[in-house]
Amino acid sequence: MGQDKTALLVLDVQNGIISNLGDKAANYVKRVQTAVDAAHAAQLPVFFIVVRFRKGYPEVSPNNKAFAAIRERNQQSPMDETSPSTQPVITPGENDLVIAKKRVSAFAGSDLEMILRAQGINHLVLCGVATGRVVLHTLCQATDNDYNVTVLADGCADRDDEIHQFLLEKVFPREAEVVTIEQWAQSLTAHS
């Protein structure tokens, strides 16, 4: 098979979610910015995946416990298409794409799969918030769909440090390569 065509997926690093990290948010965003800068320098596509809904949340089923709660909190922190909470924290570059999804996985309720196929991308590099939600769900679906996957360990964050460490050390290495942002950036430089 030919050489991998790689894209960086920045998962749920958006205004309404990054605040869940509290005082860890600023340092986390700086690390993810480093990954985005490395991808840009290597001329790799960068996709910012955000969760957002239409006004009135017609996509949210009352049977979906997590998203039904978002609908209930609508007045305090809306997650609709026009809300600042659904915008990426990092400003996308000119050629970057912002892709909206309707569930936890980056693939669920989005056109990500179509874009990846259209661009011939077969290797996904993941970073995002939260490790135990969007990163886990996206990783599982990506590997089930036969993508090569790399997870940027310090590009992932979760409010629950125990879950974060368990996934990075015990679960993710079974399905993906797990490296630091610095290791990944160095590998890009070595291959250019």
79-98 pLDDT, tens per residue? 777 888 899 999 999 999 99
Q: What is the pLDDT at residue 123?
A: 98
Rounded CA gap, 67 and 101, in Å? Answer: 12
| Surface-to-core class of residue 30, CB atoms within 10 Å of its CB (0-12 exposed, 13-18 middle, 19+ buried) | exposed
Contact 118, 26 (CB under 8 A): no
What are the CA-CA distances from residue 39 to residues 118, 132, 181 (Å)?
A: 19, 24, 11
Residue in 93, 159, 157, 171 with CA at minimum distance from that of residue 128: 157
Q: For the domain 6-52+87-191, what is the CATH code?
A: 3.40.50.850
Statement: residue 76 has pLDDT above 80: no
pTM of the model: 0.92
Rounded CA gap, 120 and 74, in Å? Answer: 38
Rounded CA gap, 81 and 87, in Å? Answer: 9
Q: Which of 2-6, 75-79, 145-149, 152-156 has the lowest mean pLDDT?
A: 75-79
Mean pLDDT of 126-153: 97
Q: What is the pLDDT at residue 189?
A: 87
Q: What is the pLDDT at residue 191?
A: 72
Statement: residue 8 has pLDDT above 90: yes
Quick one: what percent of the chain has pLDDT higher than 90? 75
Average confidence score pLDDT of the chain? 91
Q: Which of 50-54, 78-82, 141-145 has the lowest mean pLDDT?
A: 78-82
Mean pLDDT of 44-58: 88
Q: Which of 2-6, 14-18, 77-81, 118-122 has the lowest mean pLDDT?
A: 77-81
Residue in 87, 102, 31, 172 with CA at minimum distance from that of residue 8: 31
Q: What is the pLDDT at residue 74?
A: 62
Residue in 145, 128, 163, 102 with CA at minimum distance from that of residue 17: 128
Quick one: what percent of the chain has pLDDT higher than 70? 92
Q: What is the pLDDT at residue 1?
A: 41
Mean pLDDT of 141-152: 98
Residue in 143, 116, 101, 97 with CA at minimum distance from that of residue 17: 101
Q: What is the pLDDT at residue 162?
A: 97
Where are any strands of DSSP class E within 12-147? 46-51, 97-101, 123-129
Per-residue burial over 132-161, b if 16 or more Cβ lie within 10 Å, else e, is bbbbbbbbebbeeeebbbbbbbbbbbbeee
Q: What is the pLDDT of residues 104-124, one digit of tens each?
A: 999 999 999 999 999 999 999
Rounded CA gap, 142 and 19, in Å? Answer: 27
